[in-house]
Every structure is written in structure tokens, then in C-alpha cells.
């Protein structure tokens, strides 16, 4: 949101604070400012000038003009604008001497675009009787800091704050005179006052649609609004000044002499001002005449009822719409406008008549001869007055952390136009103004903020709170996730964070069904809650594969289902090789997370490599999957993936290790090489060896896998045996070894002994 410095000065009497200092005051006491932008810098050295004489230059469209300037005296310039003629009052810029069409030009007469005060570059500025424009500054305020303050979406609201901060006089731009008290020529019907608390309208005739005067164009351009024509610019001016969005209809394009504020009908179409046609439903509020919708309430007007160069009669709309209704409509249609952003902040219904008064005053200046037809059509369900808030001053002092004199508290609140009265000793009864009572000021804690920001929070001495420090309760799940995260990072993986939303296309790619749909998605293609981390990990792999030959990444997040959520760990290892190393590396990561996990081959899913998919098991329970993305999903390179249910992984974590004394007796180790088929599973052999070794087995390690002719392989293991009570004799070790060999042979395997 941009605020014109010169505009603010017009609304605050005697304001002379430089723009940057003013920006700092606003940031400290009202809303966060993001910077100050200089507008119309060329005007600093410019001067008013009157064209005294014009002489054509042969062989072209240029003219030699003699001008009289206020600051620089008489000058001769070369100008190509068609409107350069004797008697024109314009603006001269000392741009240096140049030779143009063989004639020396000492500076130039400038267009609005060249001065940075408008977009018209078709001719030089014609001031007429207007004062020459002055350099301006745009103070930019962060929109998020204005969310709860509908009054601050206009210059008058910000001027009220500045007047309270500086102690200056606030100047109300709205004239005190009432609008004509006559019967309205237009009937207004509001079907649901909860969606439209107030709708006010005024009919005007003898309207002449034309470009706005320079001062109005400059004022709008300075704050980032486009100048269109005098009628539209007047409504935008009022919106930017007193934060009341307005709209003008061509009265001759409305039907039936009635405006109806109602919910849209299912499937009803509206052709909007932006050229788009929107299909509406009953959740959208529309402005309609008896033949159909003519505008989307609080968002955008309709194209067929828009004013044009031939318009001579207009209906001026000034209304207040439900903030939630406008927000839902704007989000559903993905259409945000300057009007909708203001209505979403909960506007003051009392402001509609002020908007009509101010717009009428501006239109009378920029469209001479305009006349009001009848009186105001005002459909209004009166709002209950804001309830008084009791403010105990002793409580206020405790909340702020410093004493504030009662007179200062009263002065601050009254400068912000709160009504203050004293009900009992050191207690004020405070009634907030209507523009602060919509969704802003409701309880005494809100008043503490008003006083605190005005006295300056830097005036409050910092004092540490006298509160006992309590250790928060232990969260085992969070602690386990931290351990898994640290483990993955130690293994060289980089953590990623993906949105919890996926698109229907990603859901189909991974066979995800029965997903929770988001009613108000943050962006197109993010309307489903993920029930798997894999779509996000897959997108991460595709994005990174364009830049890196190899990488490893992981995410810890929740899979979301209609009735529960489950935390998962998903990791991917990408490399441009055969992929075998990646699968083994992720198997090792799974074993680091939970010792004793086993990997069992499983039928591949549609997104998995048909020969490289397995279940990760522990004690007969499936913890997740270890697989490789199908080649068609990755392109070049291989991406191995590990997906684990962290709830199950946490449940099966071994108990905390306890102290065990060092072994007193030595152990014995021996190696066995088992001849097995090519597709034999090492884990099955390990289970058999453990069973055969019995209670004396201390450790079992797999050593190597050596291929043999004929399609078989030699699998080597090292077994360590021992006893806690004594040293096993060589005969006992031999007996254990012999029993294992016999058992392995009975199981159908051969050995290399």
C-alpha cells in the first residue's frame, strides 16, 4: 500500500516532517513501512512556462517555440508535440542544449510521462488554470501490517494516525453538507443484510466522460493506480483517500430502475470489466438488476454495465460487504482487486455516505455541469453502537510495565477519536469509533496496544518476567524424529521441505486414492492433501537431476488421511550408475534407524522399478518400502528410495542400552563359505546360522559374495562364539562348527570347508 506524502500533508495541518522521518514514525507507532520512493523527480528543476510564439521548422513536424519560464526566463526550445501553441501554460525542464532538426533547443517542454507524473506521452503538459505539480514521495507500507485496520487502507486513516502522533490538526476532506434529501429515483433491495450491511447509491446526469485533469492523474499515478477517465478516477480517488471502494454504472445500461444485492444463482455467468466471464454459484454475492447480475459484489464490476465515452448518466455505488464473503469469492475466482483487498478487512458501514459526498464533490470539479437526480438510495440495517470498554488505569500500567498519567491516556485515545469518559476513580469508559469497531477494538487489551504504541514501546523499561521456568514435558516422538534427522544428515543426506499439498496428476501417478480435498487451495495444482511423501520427493529428484550428477536427500513429514496422520521418513539417492549401490546404501540407512530390519522382495507398484522393489520388515511387521523409481519417471540416472513409517520405527526401538561389564573370557571366531543359488537371500541364511549356533553365538557378520561358475555363488560369514562363564575349549568350538555345517547341509546347501 502506497501513501502520497503530499496528500498526507493536505490532510494534516502544518505537517513539515521529511518523508523519511515520517516513514520512521509510522513504522514505530502504526504500521511497518518498507521504503520511500521519490515521484516526479524531474519536477525539482522544472519550471512553469508559457508558450509565447511558435514557428514551424521546414522539412519536418518540429516547431521552434519561444517560452517564458518563471525560474529561467526566456528560452527557445524545439518541440514535436502537436499541442505546442501560443498561450499554452506548460512545464519546462532544463535538459541541456541539443541540436534538433538543425535548430538549437535549450531544454524542453515535457509530457506527463517524461515528468513521471502520468502515462500520457502524446503531447506536452497543458496546465490550464491548475497549479504546477510538485515533487512527491510515495511511502510504502507493508500490507500485512494493515490487515486488522480497514481505516488505514486510505490516506485519511493514515493522516489520523500521523495527526495523533505529531499533535497536529486533522483535516476532514469530506464536506459537511448533506446530500439532497429527495426521493431516490432508484430502488435498492438487499436480500441478506448479513452479507451486505449497507448499500448506498446516487444517480447523476449531465456526465461528460473525459480524461481527468493532470492533478488527479498525478495523484493516482503516485500511489500506483492507473488513470482511466474522470468518473473512474474519481471513484478510485475516494477509495484511496477515505478507504471506501466505489463503483460507477452506466445508468442507461441498467434495467428496471432497481438494484438487487443477492446471492448468485447456480451457473449464473458474469462478464467482468477485465474481459473474463465467470461462472458463479450461490456462495458469490452479486449486484443485479431484474435481468441479471451486473457486478460481483466487492470484487469487480460487469463489462456490459460499464461506463464509456458515450455515458451521460451514472449510478454511483458506495456499499459495505461482508469481509468473509468477499474473501471467499475472491479466492474461489482467483481474482483480487483494490476493492476486494479493502472489503476483506471489514469496512465501516457508516463510510458509504461519506464516500458519496466526497465522490460528488470531486465529480463536480472534474465534470462541470453534473447534476444529482433525486436523493440517496440507502438500504441499511442499522448496526448496534460499539459497546463501551472499561479501562482500569492501574491495570493498564501493570500491562504496559510503566505508569502513564491519566491525562495522557485520555489525550492519546481522544486523538485517535475514541470517546472517553470517567466512570469511577482511575477507570475510563472508552467507546471505539465505528471504523475501529468492525474487527479491531473489542476488549481492554486492544486499548493497551493503542496507548503503548503512541507512548512508544522504547519508553518502557525492559524488565525480565518474574515467572518460574518449567521444563516442558518430554515429547518422545519429536526426540525420535530429531535423532532420525541427525542420523540422515550424518550420512550425507540433505533435508527438504515440501508442501503438504499435491495435484490430482501427482496423485494418479502414485496411485493415491481417497485423498482429502482442500476447500481453499493456496495455488492451482495444490488442492489435495498428500497421503504419501513420495510425490514431493519425486519432484525434488527431477528438479535436482537437472543440475547434479549425484545427490542424496530426505524429508520427514506427515502423510494425511481423512481420519489420521502418520509421520514418515522418505529418502532418495540419485546417481548416474546402475543403481545397485544406492539401494544398498539406503538399506544401510534403514538398519541405522532400526537395527535388525530385513528387506524382502515384493511386487512392484506402477511407479517402482519392476525388478527392484521390496518391503522393509521387522519381526513380521512391514515398516515401509525400499525401491527404485521406474526409469520412465526419472529419465537418465537411477533414483533409489526408502520410505519408512516412523511411528512403527519408533515403537520397535530397542530399550536404552545398559551397562555391561567387559568380557572376562576370550571368544573364538571361524568363517564359513556357503554355496547357494544365485537368488538365495542372505537374510535367510543368517537366520538359519543363528538358529544352528544357539546360545553361544556372540556375533554374526556377512563377509563377501563371490560368484561361481554355473550360476551359483559363495556367501562367506564370520561367526564368533563364546561363553560368559568360561573359555570354550577347541573341542567345544569344533562341535558348534560341525553342528552348523551339518544343519546347513541338511537345509540343502553345500559348503566350502
pLDDT band at 361, cuts 50/70/90? very high
User: For 540-562, what is each residue's pLDDT tens digit?
Assistant: 999 999 999 999 999 999 999 99
User: For 33-71, what is each residue's pLDDT tens digit?
Assistant: 999 999 988 899 999 999 999 999 998 889 999 999 999
Q: What is the mean pLDDT of the chain?
A: 93
By percentage, how much of the chain surpasses pLDDT 70? 100
CATH 3.40.50.11540 fits domain 668-752: no
CATH 3.30.930.10 fits domain 476-651: yes
pLDDT band at 178, cuts 50/70/90? confident
Q: Running DSSP on this structure, what letter comes out for residue 11?
A: H
Q: Running DSSP on this structure, what letter comes out for residue 553?
A: E
All cell numbers assigned to 251: 445508468
51: CB partners within 8 A, 6+ apart: 65, 66, 67, 84, 85, 86, 87, 88, 90, 109
Q: What's the rounded mean pLDDT across residues 141-169? A: 94
User: For 258-273, what is each residue's pLDDT tens digit?
Assistant: 999 999 999 999 999 9
Residue 465 has pLDDT above 80, yes or no: no
Query: Pick the residue with more confidence: 628 or 682?
Result: 628
Q: What's the rounded mean pLDDT across residues 367-388? A: 92
Using a cut of 0.85, tell me whether the model's pTM lies above it. no
pLDDT band at 492, cuts 50/70/90? very high
Query: Pick the residue with more confidence: 523 or 380?
Result: 380
Which of the following CATH numbers is that of domain 187-380: 3.90.79.10, 3.40.50.620, 3.90.1200.10, 3.50.40.10? 3.50.40.10
Q: What's the rounded mean pLDDT across residues 509-521? A: 91
pLDDT band at 753, cuts 50/70/90? low
Same CATH fold assignment for domains 389-458 and 668-752: no
- Provide the pLDDT for residue 479: 94
CATH architecture of 41-115: Beta Barrel (2.40)
- Provide the pLDDT for residue 67: 93
pLDDT band at 663, cuts 50/70/90? confident
pLDDT band at 313, cuts 50/70/90? very high
Lowest mean pLDDT, pick from 161-170, 514-523, 563-572: 514-523
The highest-level CATH class for domain 389-458 is alpha beta
- Provide the pLDDT for residue 94: 94
114: CB partners within 8 A, 6+ apart: 42, 93, 108, 121
Any idea where the domains of the chain sit in the sequence? 2-40+136-170, 41-115, 187-380, 389-458, 476-651, 668-752
- Provide the pLDDT for residue 423: 85
Query: Pick the residue with more confidence: 308 or 176?
Result: 308
Residue 680 has pLDDT above 90, yes or no: no
Q: 2-40+136-170 maps to which CATH number?
A: 3.30.56.10
Task: Judge whether 40 and 133 are in contact, CB under 8 Å.
Answer: yes
Task: Judge whether 122 and 97 are in contact, CB under 8 Å.
Answer: no
Distance CA 149, CA 146 (A): 5
Distance CA 303, CA 276 (A): 9
Amino acid at each position: 500500500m502506497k501513501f502520497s506524502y503530499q496528500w498526507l500533508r493536505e490532510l494534516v495541518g502544518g505537517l513539515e516532517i521529511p518523508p523519511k522521518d515520517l516513514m520512521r514514525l509510522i513504522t514505530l507507532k502504526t504500521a511497518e513501512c518498507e521504503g520511500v520512493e521519490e515521484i516526479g523527480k524531474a519536477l525539482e528543476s522544472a519550471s512553469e512556462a508559457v508558450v509565447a510564439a511558435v514557428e514551424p521548422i521546414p522539412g519536418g513536424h518540429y516547431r521552434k517555440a519561444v517560452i517564458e519560464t518563471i525560474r529561467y526566463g526566456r528560452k527557445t526550445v524545439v518541440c514535436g508535440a502537436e499541442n505546442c501553441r501560443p498561450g499554452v501554460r506548460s512545464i519546462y525542464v532544463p535538459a541541456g542544449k541539443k541540436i534538433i532538426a538543425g535548430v538549437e533547443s535549450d531544454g524542453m517542454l515535457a509530457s506527463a510521462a517524461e515528468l513521471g507524473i502520468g502515462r500520457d506521452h502524446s503531447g506536452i503538459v497543458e496546465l490550464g488554470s491548475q497549479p504546477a505539480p510538485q515533487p512527491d514521495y510515495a511511502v510504502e507500507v507493508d500490507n500485512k501490517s494493515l490487515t486488522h485496520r480497514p481505516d488505514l487502507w486510505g490516506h485519511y486513516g493514515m493522516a489520523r494516525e500521523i495527526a495523533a502522533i505529531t499533535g497536529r490538526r486533522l483535516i476532514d476532506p469530506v464536506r459537511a453538507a448533506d446530500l439532497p434529501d429527495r426521493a431516490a429515483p432508484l430502488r435498492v433491495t438487499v436480500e441478506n443484510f448479513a452479507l451486505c450491511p449497507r448499500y448506498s447509491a446516487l444517480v447523476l446526469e449531465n456526465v461528460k466522460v473525459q480524461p481527468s485533469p493532470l492533478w488527479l492523474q498525478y495523484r493516482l499515478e503516485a500511489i500506483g493506480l492507473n488513470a482511466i477517465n474522470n468518473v473512474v478516477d474519481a471513484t478510485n480517488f475516494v477509495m484511496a483517500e477515505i478507504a471506501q471502494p466505489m463503483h460507477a454504472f452506466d445508468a442507461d445500461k441498467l434495467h428496471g430502475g432497481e438494484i438487487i444485492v443477492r446471492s448468485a444463482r447456480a451457473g449464473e455467468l458474469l462478464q467482468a470489466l477485465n474481459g473474463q466471464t465467470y461462472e458463479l454459484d450461490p456462495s458469490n454475492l452479486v449486484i443485479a438488476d431484474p435481468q441479471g447480475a451486473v457486478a460481483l459484489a466487492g470484487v469487480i464490476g460487469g463489462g456490459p454495465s460499464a461506463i464509456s465515452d458515450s455515458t451521460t448518466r451514472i449510478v454511483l455505488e458506495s456499499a459495505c460487504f461482508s469481509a468473509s464473503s468477499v474473501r471467499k469469492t475472491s479466492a474461489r475466482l482467483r481474482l483480487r482487486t483494490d476493492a476486494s483487498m479493502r472489503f476483506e478487512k471489514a469496512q465501516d458501514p457508516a463510510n458509504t455516505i461519506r464516500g458519496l459526498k466526497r465522490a460528488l464533490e470531486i465529480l463536480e470539479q472534474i465534470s462541470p455541469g453534473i447534476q444529482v437526480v433525486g436523493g440517496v438510495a440507502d438500504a441499511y440495517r442499522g448496526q448496534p453502537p460499539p459497546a463501551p470498554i472499561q479501562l482500569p488505569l492501574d491495570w493498564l500500567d501493570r500491562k504496559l510495565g510503566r505508569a502513564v498519567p491519566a491525562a495522557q491516556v485520555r489525550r492519546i485515545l481522544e486523538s485517535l477519536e475514541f470517546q472517553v469518559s470517567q466512570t469511577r476513580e482511575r477507570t475510563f469508559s472508552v467507546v471505539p469509533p465505528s471504523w475501529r469497531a468492525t474487527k479491531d477494538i473489542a476488549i481492554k487489551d486492544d486499548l493497551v496496544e493503542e496507548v503503548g504504541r503512541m507512548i512508544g514501546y522504547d519508553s518502557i523499561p525492559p524488565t525480565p518476567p518474574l515467572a518460574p521456568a518449567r521444563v516442558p514435558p518430554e515429547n518422545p516422538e519429536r526426540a525420535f524424529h530429531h535423532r532420525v534427522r541427525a542420523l540422515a544428515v550424518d550420512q550425507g543426506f540433505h533435508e527438504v521441505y515440501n508442501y503438504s499439498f499435491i495435484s490430482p496428476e501427482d496423485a494418479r501417478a502414485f496411485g493415491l486414492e481417497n485423498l482429502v480435498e482442500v476447500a481453499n487451495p493456496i495455488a492451482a495444482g495444490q488442492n489435495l492433501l498428500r497421503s504419501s511423501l513420495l510425490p514431493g520427493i519425486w519432484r525434488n529428484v527431477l528438479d535436482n537431476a537437472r543440475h547434479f550428477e549425484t545427490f542424496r536427500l530426505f524429508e520427514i513429514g506427515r502423510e494425511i488421511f481423512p481420519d489420521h496422520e502418520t509421520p514418515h521418513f522418505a529418502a532418495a539417492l540419485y546417481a548416474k550408475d546402475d543403481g545397485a549401490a544406492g539401494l544398498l546404501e539406503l538399506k544401510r540407512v534403514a538398519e541405522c534407524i532400526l537395527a535388525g530390519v530385513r528387506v524382502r522382495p515384493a511386487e512392484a507398484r506402477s511407479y517402482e522399478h519392476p525388478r527392484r522393489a521390496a518391503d522393509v520388515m521387522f519381526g513380521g511387521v512391514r515398516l515401509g518400502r525400499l525401491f527404485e523409481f521406474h526409469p520412465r519417471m526419472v529419465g537418465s540416472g537411477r533414483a533409489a528410495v526408502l520410505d519408512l513409517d516412523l511411528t512403527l520405527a519408533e515403537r520397535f526401538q530397542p530399550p536404552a542400552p545398559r551397562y555391561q561389564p567387559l568380557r572376562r573370557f576370550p571368544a573364538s571366531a571361524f568363517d564359513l563359505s556357503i554355496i547357494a543359488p544365485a537368488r538365495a537371500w542372505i537374510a535367510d541364511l543368517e537366520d538359519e546360522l543363528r538358529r544352528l549356533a544357539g546360545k553361544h553365538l556372540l556375533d554374526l557378520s556377512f563377509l563377501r559374495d563371490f560368484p561361481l561358475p554355473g550360476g551359483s555363488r559363495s556367501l562367506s560369514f564370520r561367526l564368533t562364539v563364546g561363553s560368559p562363564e568360561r573359555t570354550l575349549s577347541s573341542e567345544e568350538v569344533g562341535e558348534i562348527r560341525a553342528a552348523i555345517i551339518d544343519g546347513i547341509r541338511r537345509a540343502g546347501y553345500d559348503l566350502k570347508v
